[in-house]
């Protein structure tokens, strides 16, 4: 991929799901372009299609129509196994419900992407402990998810999404279950660790408390992206010139 090529190019993308005898169109001719070393927030009310969109972007779902090119690749052309391998090397996903395995320790949960990519357990746990240190949880590496608070579980999920050095980290409502202070702390960690050197972060949210963490804001409503804005408030805070 050439330096100026987009990290993600979505054109006229649509996605529907069956509902009884009917079909519900969730995504309606979505167009979106993202470049590297950036943070993009996809904003909109619950049910507008945000989670479906990032699931297509991350290769978890296939679109019905349109094009979704990630890192210059059309994941629909991959076999199921090729797609799993590609996603496991290049994408980190932070789920709204954390999706931690309850019988594994924090370190073992974080190590999962590395084990999937073929790393041995000892080395994977070593890297997992480093990422837990980054999110200020190394001392809880042997704790089970049930022994952690919601904010701590979210930070474990973030460490797991970052441990394999993905080029894109996608977060689905990462602060919805967190109080204001914990939510901002989680966003500070994400922004620090997931962005830069060609790596990018996409955050799906309807949480107005974290809007100012994004460089660009994509406004989504009823399955469509109406417009994408540069975050003027962030630019003012960092004294960056407006485009």
- Report the predicted TM-score, pTM, of the whole model to 2 decimal places: 0.85
182: nearest Cα among 152, 148, 143: 152
Token couple for 2: 């050439």
Token couple for 59: 């290769």
Q: Where are the domains of the chain?
A: 36-62+80-238
- Provide the sign of the torsion angle of the four alpha carbons 94, 96, 100, 101, taken in this order: negative
pLDDT tens, the chain, 243 aa long = 444 578 899 999 999 999 888 999 999 999 999 888 889 999 988 889 999 999 999 888 999 999 999 999 998 889 888 988 898 889 999 988 889 999 999 999 999 999 989 999 999 999 999 999 988 999 999 999 999 998 899 899 999 999 999 999 999 988 877 788 888 888 888 888 888 777 899 999 887 777 788 889 999 999 999 888 886 544 444 444 434
| Domain covering 36-62+80-238 in this structure, CATH number | 3.40.50.300
């Amino acid at each position: 991929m050439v330096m100026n090529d987009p990290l993600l190019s979505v054109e006229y993308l649509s996605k529907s799901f069956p509902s009884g005898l009917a079909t519900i169109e969730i995504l309606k001719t979505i167009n979106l372009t993202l470049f590297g070393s950036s943070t993009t927030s996809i904003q909109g009310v619950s049910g507008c299609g945000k989670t479906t969109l990032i699931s297509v972007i991350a290769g978890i779902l296939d679109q019905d129509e349109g094009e979704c090119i990630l890192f210059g690749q059309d994941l629909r052309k991959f076999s199921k196994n090729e797609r799993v391998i590609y996603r496991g090397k290049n994408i980190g996903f932070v789920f709204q419900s954390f999706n931690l395995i309850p019988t594994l320790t924090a370190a073992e949960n974080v190590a999962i992407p590395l084990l999937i990519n073929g790393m041995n357990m000892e080395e994977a746990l070593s890297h997992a402990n480093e990422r837990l240190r980054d999110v200020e949880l190394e001392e809880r590496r042997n704790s089970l998810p049930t022994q952690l608070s919601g904010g701590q579980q979210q930070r474990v999920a973030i460490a797991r999404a970052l441990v394999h050095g993905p080029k894109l980290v996608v977060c689905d409502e990462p602060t919805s279950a967190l109080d204001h202070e914990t939510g901002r702390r989680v966003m500070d960690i994400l922004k620090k660790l997931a962005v830069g050197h060609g790596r990018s972060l996409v955050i799906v949210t309807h949480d107005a408390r974290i809007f100012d963490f994004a460089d660009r804001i994509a406004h989504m409503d009823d399955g469509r992206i109406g417009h994408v804005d540069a975050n003027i408030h962030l630019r003012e805070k960092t004294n960056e010139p407006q485009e």
